[in-house]
A and B are shown apart, each in its own frame.
Chain A
Amino acid sequence: MDMRIYDHPILRFERGKSVRFYFEGREMRAYDGESIAAALFANGIRVFTTSGWKGRPRGAFCMIGQCSSCMMTVDGVPNVRTCVEGVRDGITVERLRGPGEIRPEGGVRETKNPPTYEYEVVVLGGGPAGLAAAMESARLGAKTLLIEKNDHLGGQLIKQTHKFFGSVEHFAGVRGFEIARIMEKMLRESGADVWLNSNVIGYYEGNVLGVVRKGPIREGSHVFEERYVNVRAKRIIFGTGARERFLVFENNDLPGVMGAGAAQTLMNVYGIKPAERMLMVGGGNVGLIVAYQLLQAGVEVVGVVEAMPRIGGYFVHAAKIRRLGIPIHTRHTVVRAIGEDHVEGAVIVELDERWRPVPGTEMEVECDGIALAVGLSPTYPFLQQAGVELRYVPSLGGFAPVRDENLQTNVEGIYVAGDLASIEEASTAMIEGHIAGIAAATSLGYTSPEAEERVRKMKEYLNEFRSGPFGKPILEGIERVRR
């Protein structure tokens, strides 16, 4: 089986050199640059492991290193997140059997006597918010470091194939993955340091971050593949984004149930079909846009279900799939996934005014994937560690950090930007990143009249952007977390 996409209306997939790996002893083909999880999907593998307690099959859910559902044993090392681990020639990949054993250190992963790096501004997350923040502070002259856990910059922009909305000054009309390329180039030119494949694991007193930094890192005669290090920062800008929400229904743990973002990663980053026939759950912008992108990838979309009486995303996104004959069922939800060890179908049902299933309206649809686009939650654990006050504001996506108009939180020197601050758009995330980056640098004495003028304009633009029916709830929510 080969689930790879070879012909796409928008994307061209340039695959690396062909490599072989072994899954449960079976030889499989992959390409350099694919993650292990993507390579398994391409080869038709859905069951990545089994649950520890009941032995239920487990598949990949988020595809961006957040959910732990895709953990496997790779070359004998257990609990490897295969969605963010690149496939390499000759590796062995096995399903987890029990909790696994931690092996004694082989000398390449060092945790003792960590060195401390000093920076003026440290930015967490290389998505639109983080890229914008880091380029601004570096350009103004602050010694800046950007830390990103993935092997690429751009965050979720790299899988956005649609043209952006908004204003022409802020990339409207440009496709998301192209925006990522432009921003990466701007960042590289700004002089900021970048650590890819590096995980921040904690925030400690004195504005110190614990980081597992990807090497090679030379220390005397040692070369470490990976090293635990400390990073001390005068200012920290958190742009850690959000994670996809889950939904409660029977059999929701069956492999083939995945985040809509995961489907996007597979088809738009790796060029691999996430399913042959997909049911989309959620009629917000993510659900509608990803449904359209599934069609572009050659996946059949059996329908979009939305529990609300109306679609929540932009109408024009609904119109694009509807005119191609894709059914949109408002006031419907999924109640059950069907299948033994992977999704083979789903049962959807109509809801009444009080969100109760209407008896007799159950409808079975045949599909081998169920994509969930039921909202995003900000990734805020580091903010909690840092003592940032969070308030529950549903219109911002849940717990949202208190901040001022420069995106500085109640903790002096700690800033937020993007989906972490409020679930919104990539374009607003970028603008918030620019504002936070300039504000952080300015607070250290690095500034320019030009930067100040741009911040003033960007704040004006944000207010205008958020003045419409889609932006108003955001604007009102931000009032509730105003520092």
Chain B
Amino acid sequence: MGYLEKGYITLEELQEMGFVPPPERVRKGPVAFIECPQEIPCNPCVEACPYGAITMEGINGLPRLDFEKCNGCGRCVKVCPGLAIFIVNARGRYTVWLPHEMLPLPERGSEVVLLDRSGRDVGRGRVVAVMSAEENTRSSIVVVEVPEEWHLYHVRAIRVV
């Protein structure tokens, strides 16, 4: 449980817990990437999924995603109170959907700094879309095109420049 000491989780830790969607699946199109490794009492993602792709044993259970049932619609991204769900896609171009609750909101088409789970600058990406995540606030989902496939597994935030 090194992630509780550092405050961020590694891809290896996520892999061990079965959270990482297989690259073959990601290459077929958008799929959710849930990073929720702790048993906390919370279940909105389960209720939000129209395809029954997320299951949980009791309210304290870990969310389990059926990568084949998931079509990457992103409803779980919008409701997750922990901002712990992302959408990744390697079909056509490499895109990652990031929940974003900070100002400024990036502009569509602009270049942004890509940050990994520890906040490290790992390159530049281009904003493909900025979607409003809810009414009455500017909470958004920012879709970023990233240059390399590995970015999909590491980029979890952006810095607007």
Contacts and interface: CB of A to CB of B under 8 A. Distances in A.
Given A310-B4, A314-B82, A323 B116 contact: yes
A459 B36 CA distance: 27
A165 B44 CA distance: 8
B7 A319 contact: yes
A316 B8 contact: no
Interface in B69-91: 79, 81-84
A312 to B, nearest CB: 9
Nearest to A317: B82
Interface residues of B, number: 44
A325 interface: yes
A322 B102 CA distance: 14
B119 A323 contact: yes
For B1, B79, B105, B120, the residue with the greatest tally of chain A CB atoms inside 10 Å of its CB is B79
Contact of B119 (A283, A317, A322): A322
A165 B79 CA distance: 10
Given A168-B47, A173-B79, A468-B60, A295 B102 contact: yes
B41 A468 contact: yes
Given A7-B103, A319-B9, A464-B59, A168 B82 contact: no
B interface SS class: loop
Contacts of A319: 7-9, 35, 82-84, 117, 156
Number of contact residues on A: which range applies?
35 or more
B136 to A, nearest CB: 8
For B9, B101, B105, the residue with the greatest tally of chain A CB atoms inside 10 Å of its CB is B101
Interface in A436-475: 464-471
A168 B43 contact: yes
Interface in B21-56: 35-44, 47-48
A432 to B, nearest CB: 15
Interface of B: 1, 3-9, 35-44, 47-48, 58-60, 79, 81-84, 101-103, 105, 115-120, 137-139, 156-157, 159
Given A168-B44, A464-B60, 13 more contacts: A7-B103, A167-B43, A173-B79, A310-B4, A315-B7, A316-B84, A320-B83, A322-B119, A464-B59, A465-B59, A465-B60, A467-B60, A469-B38
